[in-house]
Amino acid sequence: MTIQFNDETFYGDFTFKNSDWAIKRFPFPFHEDSYMYSVNMEPHKSYRPGSVFERTFDVDEHYVAEMKDRARVLANDPLRCQSLPHMTLAGWDLVELIMEAKAAEYPDLFELHKDGNRWRWVNKPLGIDDTFTFLDESTLPYGPMEYITRQTQGDFAVLDQRDDNLWMDAGMVTTQADWSLDFDIGMNFFEWHAPVPKANEMGIFVRALKFLLNIQQGQPARRLNWTMTVNPLLDTSPENYHKWGTMKQGLTMENIGEKQHLRVELQTFFRLPRSNALVFPIRCYLIRFEDLVTVPKWARRLHRVIRDLPEELATYKGFIDNRPLMVEYLSQFDDGSPTSDGIWADD
């Protein structure tokens, strides 16, 4: 296999680690030295070989460990995966989308063999070789959405489209930045976004919804979003805040480089063909500060972004208390020299 999968954890002893390869391809989210919300959508087309934008669903060295972490979270809290009855067809759409993309783009890792509706799916990294009947739930060990998202990195919100709105009617959510599927299930686009500060006054959501309602088959879109996480926790859910919230305390200049992580979400949007639903995969990438600052441009820019971020945003993203320490740490790596446009490291 072309990818060496890490044996690592995202809880307890936190042995998660990025290789040099993973650091180099990290999706740094800031294209300039400041940050404000925007509907920063672009077509989800293959871009920059080796980057996280190359494949439809990126598979990296964390794949196997992330899937183990998902199984652990689900065992403790089955409500992280829910699908309202009318969303089963969308689940099958997702099975088809992911299996076809992974088999075509990672032929050494995944295989899909079709004989009419009889499908054989081979997932070599996870040691799965299943034969099932497409559109027949009784032939899979889980519902279709749960089956395939237990094998795919990132959270998945599956949105029904009706009445000119989107409805959070199904999802697999175990690697979330402090939101809850169990709380949001059945809500529409405006309801589940209600807690986000400033964006509503800016008209962001009306424009974003209009864009999303018009996403068409064969034309997926993507954007990056970001926040901060202390320790490499994939599961920063409200349900478990009592376990991870306290970890935000106790950062020092000595340990911040190791403990503080920039958390980036690669969000993609696909129209699903049979159900006309929209699937919203939210893929989480983590990088510790001490790895991030090995890229000089990223170190300088992150310092300026965090230093100048409006207070409401730092509060909403949950790091207002640690901001002074972050700025102090990052300032060591900012000599004031200019940064080039765009998100990519200078060669």
Residues assigned a catalytic role: 223
Q: What residues contact residue 137 under an 8 Å CB cut-off, 6+ apart?
A: 88, 143, 144
Give the Cα-Cα-Cα angle 152, 154, 155 (nearest 5 degrees).
110
Contact between residue 220 and residue 280 where contact means Cβ atoms under 8 Å apart: no
| Cβ closest to another protein, residue 170 vs residue 330 | 170
Tell me the β-bridge partners of 281: 156
CA distance 236 to 219: 31
Distance CA(338)–CA(331), nearest Å, equals 14
Answer yes or no: are the C-beta atoms of 221 and 47 closer than 8 Å.
no
Establish if 218 lies at the interface with another protein (CB under 8 A). Answer: yes
The 151-170 site mask, x for binding another protein (CB under 8 A), equals: ---------xxxx-------
Least Å from the CB of residue 93 to another protein: 8
Residue 60: closest CA among 121, 111, 106: 106
Length of the chain: 347
Instruction: Say which residue the tokens 């395939």 belong to.
Output: 148
Query: Is residue 135 at the binding interface for another protein, with CB under 8 A as the rule?
Result: yes
* Interatomic CA distance for residues 151 and 149, integer angstroms: 5
Q: How far is CA 211 from CA 28, 111, 190, 223, in A?
A: 24, 34, 14, 12
Asked whether position 144 contacts another protein by CB under 8 A, the answer is: no
Tell me which residue of 304, 175, 145 sits closest to 236, measured CA to CA: 175
Judged by CB under 8 A, does residue 115 bind another protein? no
- Tell me whether residue 275 or residue 339 sits nearer to another protein (CB atom): 275
Enumerate residues 41-60 that contact another protein by CB under 8 A: 41, 43
Output the smallest distance, CB 297 to another protein, in A. 29
Q: Which two tokens stand for residue 36?
A: 């404000």
Q: Is 219 in the site for another protein (CB under 8 A)?
A: yes
Does position 276 bind another protein by CB under 8 A? Answer: yes
Nearer Cβ to another protein (48/274): 274
Query: Is residue 99 involved in binding another protein (CB under 8 A)?
Result: no
Q: Does 274 bind another protein (CB under 8 A)?
A: yes
**Residues whose CB falls within 8 Å of the CB of residue 183, separated by 6 or more in sequence, listed in order:** 238
Binding another protein (rule: CB under 8 A), the pick from 40, 217, 246, 255 is 217
Task: CB nearer to another protein: give 165 or 294.
Answer: 165
Instruction: Tell whether residue 139 is a contact of another protein (CB under 8 A).
Output: no
Nearest distance in Å: CB 205, another protein? 16
96 touching another protein, by CB under 8 A: yes
Verify binding: residue 223, another protein, rule CB under 8 A: no
How far is Cα 4 from Cα 11, in angstroms, rounded to an integer? Answer: 21
How many chain residues interact with another protein (CB under 8 A)?
24
Cβ distance to another protein smaller for residue 209 or 330: 209
Cβ closest to another protein, residue 164 vs residue 321? 164
Contacting residues toward another protein, per CB under 8 A? 41, 43, 85-87, 89, 93, 96, 135, 160-163, 210, 214, 216-219, 221, 273-276
